Chains A and B, each alone.
Chain A
Amino acid sequence: MKKTLLSFVLAAAGLLMAGTTIAQTIPMNHTLYKAFGERAGLVSLMDDFMTRLLADPRTRPHFLPANQQHVKEQLVEQFCALASGPCVYQGADMKTAHAELDIRKSDFHALVEVLQRSMDAQGIPFSRQNQMLALLAPMHRDAITIR
């Protein structure tokens, strides 16, 4: 009886944590754009991001031949739109954008790590970073071309 009660309490605690954070998600998303410093913050983030992508030996081969300024601008629009900012992303969809490239899952993870380092450098709180990553992560299905 006691152990059933304890397990129920533990499960309820877990669900409650999930539930309260889920309930907080909707208003939180409207402030995600603010948390990233709005447009100026996103431009600063992508400048730093591209620098790190070119410096990291795992991602450098993919970004060196790219039109880096164009990619940065597209990333700003994309992140702005995802963070419920006043933007509409009109760039290429993920499938088209990556179709001609050799992207493995390890490449995807490498990019996420570099992005995390950039977000750290911008002083973006961990929870906000994860909210943005949660919006970006499903893109792995289209971005990864070699499985």
Chain B
Amino acid sequence: MNSRLAFALLAACASLLGGANARADTGKLLLTGGVSTVEGTAGGGLTPWAVVGSNATEGEVGASAYLTTVGTRDYGLNIYGAAIGIHDRYELSIAQQDFNTRDTGTALGLPGLHLKQSIFGAKVRMLGDAVLDSDTLMPQVAVGVQFKQLGATGLDATLEALGAKRHGTDFYVSATKLLLGRGLLLNGTLRATKANQNGLLGFGATLGGDESSYRLQPELSVAYLLSKNIAVGTEYRFMRNRLETAGRAAGLGNGLRSSDWKDVFIAWAPNKNVSLTLAWVDLGVIVPATTGSRRQTGYYLSAQAAF
């Protein structure tokens, strides 16, 4: 399905649901739907959580939409997306990532190169209630899948030469627990993926050695509720350094290596329908060969509307 069409359909559903829902206040408690990750699923900024997006609780259907902009030292990443939450159990999401390669694109002979990736996500809550089961340490557990498609660009030939595909599927399981009495949220996600830099540099690699099988990568989030409307936290997302071997085989030394993603964030929800997240991100090195091995640190700003 054409990603633009899919996005338009989902956004239309979201706005219809928003319009049909006469009440401004809907089912979930503030901030308990998480925010929207860079891949569109509900969670932190970088990592999917077991919470189901939107404000819908049991018996309800809700929707959310968001805009995110990330700026690091050498790159820019803009994301927009939407999600539907059904009965606080099922979540469907869509995200469109636009990665501005700036000087790296120029260095590769592709000035103005934007890498665009579409991500279609589905998540199912399997058990538990992250918020209300406060008398047990049992977390809320969900499993999810993300279908990722990297759009065609002038980089295709390079990716093919490295043996990287332009599409891939991530699978993950998340366990989320809000220690309500302490206002502390903990999340652990285990992801099976072949993605290079989240998929922006394709999936897997075969040049110089097979890096095309699924690997498990853990992701951790810790958040603290400062007040009803404000949460602060940090996330750490392990990334497998898949392209280094291929880069080496292509004569780039360790110029294609990658490193883990992490952030420190503050999320503010003035009411149940709007949330803003500001974060300092460190996306590690991204194509260090053309960026002087600079760590891609910078800002992350996201606005989400949910009903």
Contacts and interface: CB of A to CB of B under 8 A. Distances in A.
Q: Tell whether A and B belong to one assembly.
A: yes
Interface of A: 3, 6-7, 10-11, 13-14, 17-18, 21-22, 25, 58, 104-106, 109-110, 112-113, 116, 120, 126-127, 130-131, 133-135, 137-138, 140, 146-147
A10 B236 contact: yes
Contacts of B183: 126-127, 130
A127 B228 CA distance: 10
7 contacts: A18-B182, A21-B179, A105-B58, A112-B29, A120-B228, A133-B181, A147-B58
A138 B133 contact: yes
B220 A113 contact: no
A116 B25 CA distance: 14
A106 B60 CA distance: 8
B131 A137 contact: yes
B301 to A, nearest CB: 23
Contacts of A17: 182, 184, 222, 224
Contact of A134 (B60, B129, B180, B259): B180
Given A6-B236, A10-B222, A18-B186, A106 B260 contact: no
A105 B88 CA distance: 10
B58 A137 contact: no
Given A10-B220, A138-B134, A130 B57 contact: no
A71 B110 CA distance: 71
Interface string B28-63: 110000000000000000000000000001111000
B250 interface: no
A106 B26 contact: yes
A109 B88 CA distance: 13
A7 B136 CA distance: 26
B2 interface: no
Contacts of B59: 104-106, 146
Main secondary structure of the interface of A (DSSP, over half): helix
A105 B27 contact: yes
A9 to B, nearest CB: 10
A6 B234 CA distance: 12
B215 to A, nearest CB: 15
B133 A106 contact: no
Nearest to A9: B236
B127 interface: no
Contacts of B262: 6
Contacts of B136: 138
B186 A14 contact: yes
B213 interface: no
A18 B185 CA distance: 9
Given A18-B186, A113-B25, 18 more contacts: A7-B220, A18-B179, A18-B182, A21-B179, A25-B182, A104-B58, A105-B57, A106-B57, A106-B60, A126-B227, A130-B180, A130-B225, A133-B181, A134-B135, A134-B180, A137-B132, A138-B136, A140-B129
Contact of B180 (A11, A105, A137): A137
A140 B236 contact: no
